[in-house]
Amino acid sequence: MGGHRLAPSAYLSDVQYAPISSVDGSIGVWTTTTSFLTGRQGLTSAIYNGYVYVLGGFDGTTYYNDVQYAQINANGTVGAWTTTTSFVSARYNHTTVSYNGYVYVLGGINGSTYYNTVQYAKIDSPGLTQPYTAPASSPAARAWGSSAAYNGYLYFVGGCSAVSADTCTTFTQTVSYAPINTDGTLGTWAIGAGTLPQARAMGSLIAYEGRLYYISGRATTTTLASNLTGIYYATLNASTGLPSTWSANSADNAAAPTGLVARYGQASMVYNGYLYVIGGCTTAANTACAAFLNTVQYAKISSAGIAATHPVGCGNSFCTTTAFHHCSPRTCNCSFWQYAIHKWWVARRI
């Protein structure tokens, strides 16, 4: 959904979806459906209880704090988009998580202002959200971080806390987490003992079968290529939510044991035993992105990590499946979400 096309320059509001094969995890042809209101980049999205939500973003002039939602139909299309309660303080490059009937907005940036707030709102039926509230405690201010919710805890990992000329200059490897109470409030944020192996931002975070996985991203130095291929995971303590020390399923920019293309700003998702990585930017070094991806790669995943071989016979653990539409001329740092009828929705963000 959405994004910024480079030439000719335009901020987009399109929505695409595709079916997922239950046999081998591959995806079918991407199809466009109802566009949301007002094109933008740096937006986030969430899916909950049969509705898809779009939150915030930036269109080159205006920072947004609006929230839009649309019903997901049985055939994978979405209905008309409607605005609901806005969150506080317009921003982009924030993160969004939906969990147990609540939606959470974490971090983000508005010009030179980095936010450390976490806002949440109860999701009413059908699709409406109540006014947003900020919990008493928040992690450190950052944008381009990654978040996930799992087993009653909210996690906020990595990110950028300073920028110059649209380039992140201060990266973090901090792993913050807080308990989620039944009324949507959060407990006190804590810092996990196990930080990311390297300070980074613009990666993607997923929670699956008792682990957090952090995929790719962008590094703080050029001692490694700035765009990374590494996949790291931490085991979560079932009682306390504490992440363990991070282990490498595949080292950064090693001799391609995974076949994953180096990138940042991509999105990742687990569905039916497969990890999917979609879109992103492939520019090397710490400069503005000039090469964007519309490819989708996927691999088997389990409690033992990413599989060494793929069941459909790829030469490495990551296969490439059907690309989504018209990505080449636009920014395609992508987010996507699975839904119970085996469809995907795509959102590009930068």
Residue 273 sits in a domain of what CATH number? 2.120.10.80
- Rounded to the nearest angstrom, the gap between the alpha carbon of residue 18 and the centroid of all alpha carbons in its chain is 18
Confidence band, pLDDT 50/70/90 cuts, at residue 32:
very high
- Rounded to the nearest angstrom, the gap between the alpha carbon of residue 148 and the centroid of all alpha carbons in its chain is 9
- Rounded to the nearest angstrom, the gap between the alpha carbon of residue 294 and the centroid of all alpha carbons in its chain is 15
- 253-307 per-position pLDDT tens digit: 554 445 777 788 888 888 888 888 888 877 654 455 667 778 888 888 866 677 6
Q: Is the pTM of this model over 0.85?
A: yes
Cα 137 to Cα 56, 85, 107, 133, 188: the distances in Å are 22, 22, 13, 12, 6
What is the model's pLDDT at position 192? 86
Rounded CA separation 38/52 (Å): 16
Residue with tokens 């990266």: 171
Q: What is the DSSP letter of 78?
A: B
Q: Are 44 and 94 a contacting pair, CB within 8 Å?
A: yes
Rounded CA separation 266/336 (Å): 9
What is the model's pLDDT at position 318? 66
Segments forming the whole domain that contains residue 57:
3-348
Average pLDDT score over the chain = 81
Rounded CA separation 68/81 (Å): 6
Q: How many structural domains comprise the chain?
A: 1
